[in-house]
Every structure is written in structure tokens, then in C-alpha cells.
Chain A
Amino acid sequence: MKAVAVWLLLVMLTLLTWWVGQAGYSGQWLVMALLVSVFIKGHFIIADFMALRGVALLWQALVHGWLILVLGLIFLAYWIGM
């Protein structure tokens, strides 16, 4: 039932993100916190839903690398915008 626990965590993080949006919070630290939350969600989707945990390191590195690259570029762009 690990999948259900992962799903619950993902839903809770989504609701937290929604709440931040509704409250209208903004700022550098919040951007960073939301991006960390996206990383956590992405990591569990990649490792447990896509079942890449324990599979060839190359595939894990490629998909995790995609996630880190995208979040890094988003943070850089937001930092420039600040």
C-alpha cells in the first residue's frame, strides 16, 4: 500500500500549494519552498509511480535530471525577475 501513502502525500502537497495560491503569498522564499515541494512530488512520481526506483541508474538520472534542470531554470528566471 506504499502507492496509496505516496498518493496521499502528493495530494497533501497539492492542497498546500493551492492554499498558498489562495492566500496570495509571494516572495523569493515562497518560490523556493514551492519549487522544493514540486521536487518532492516529482521525485515520488518518478521513483514510485514510474517505478524507476531500483531501475537502471541512467534512466533515474535522466528523469530526475530533467526535473532538477526545469526547477533550476524556473528559479533562475524568477530570481532575475525579482
Chain B
Amino acid sequence: MWIFILAELLVFAIFFSSYAFARSGNVELFNHYQQTLNRNIGAANTVILLTGSLFVVLAVQAVKVGKLTQCRNWLLAGVGSGALFVILKSVEFADKFAQGISLSTNTFYMFYLSLTFFHFMHVILGMIILAAVAWKAQAGDYSAAEHTGVETGASYWHMVDLVWVVLFPLVYVIR
């Protein structure tokens, strides 16, 4: 899983630096259209993902002392935070689409839509992974001695969080 996580991080690194270097040639355009983004939703989604990460940390702590039901509940709370992120991001996307904004509108929106949609898909995958781990915790497949699956699923979720922590300031704030 860690090789997969590093590969994902590499792809996001290419995306982030492409955005930053594309901006260096179109500073005014990027600064102007960045102002049209909904920073309130962006910041709220950051707090939601960070809170989801805290829930997942608590799930790992619970399984380490053999509390499987508690572990499952924290993981489901993590899935819930992911669902909240997906809902808010969908509202943001819907608003942009309603204004007729698409990938071909301009370079800024091309990066904004593709970067955030790519991350959005990772949140959904993270939710699926957490739900699967919660299911296995429910089935009693983990113990205080053997819980690698929980830690691995947690690491993927934290990677999704880590990427967003770079993405939010980069795309929504830094100018």
C-alpha cells in the first residue's frame, strides 16, 4: 500500500507543480479567477477532512487495545466526514457548472476542475477503503496483535488529507 501511496503522491506533485508553473506565465488570470472560488467551502472541507483524519487516528488507537466496536465506529465516522466533504464539493462543482464553467473556460479553471476532481475521486476511494476496513473490524478480522489492515487503510486516508492540505492554500488562497 505504501508504494501505491507514494505513487499517488508523485502524481499529485506533478499536478501541483504544473499548476504553479502554469500560473507563473499567467499570474493575472490565475489571481483574478482564484477570487471566484468559494474559500468558505474550501476551508470547511479542510476542517472536515482533518476531523475525519482524527477519527481514523482514534480508530487505530482503539484497535490497538482490542476495542473492535469502537474502531468500527470511528472508521464509520471517518466515512461520514468523507461524505460531508463530497456533498460540499458537489455543491461547489454544481455552482461552477451552473455558471457555464468547464475545463475549456480557461487555464485556471482547467487546473481547478481537474485537480479538485482528481482529489474528489480519491476521497471517494478513501471512503470505500475505510468502509471495507470497518466491515472487517465488525467481522472480528482484526485484533490488538494483528491490525495491519486498519493502519494501512488509515494511511491512505491521511494521504488524501495531506494532499488537500497542500491543494487548498495553493488553489484557493496563495496569490
A: which residues have CB within 8 A of B? 3-4, 7, 10-11, 14-15, 17-18, 20-22, 24, 26, 30-31, 34-35, 37-38, 41-42, 45-46, 48-51, 59, 62-63, 66-67, 69-71, 73-74, 76-78, 80-81
Contacts and interface: CB of A to CB of B under 8 A. Distances in A.
A49 B165 contact: no
B174 interface: yes
24 contacts: A7-B54, A10-B50, A11-B50, A14-B168, A17-B169, A18-B42, A18-B43, A34-B173, A45-B158, A45-B165, A46-B158, A50-B155, A66-B6, A70-B16, A70-B166, A71-B166, A73-B13, A74-B170, A76-B20, A77-B20, A77-B23, A78-B20, A81-B23, A81-B24
A10 to B, nearest CB: 5
B166 A63 contact: no
Contact of A73 (B16, B162, B173): B16
B165 A38 contact: yes
A69 to B, nearest CB: 6
Question: For chain B, what secondary structure do more than half of its interface residues adopt (helix, strand, loop), or is it mixed?
Answer: helix
Interface residues of B, number: 47
Given A38-B169, A42-B166, A51-B151, A3 B54 contact: yes
Contacts of B173: 17-18, 20-21, 34
A26 B174 CA distance: 7
Contacts of B10: 66
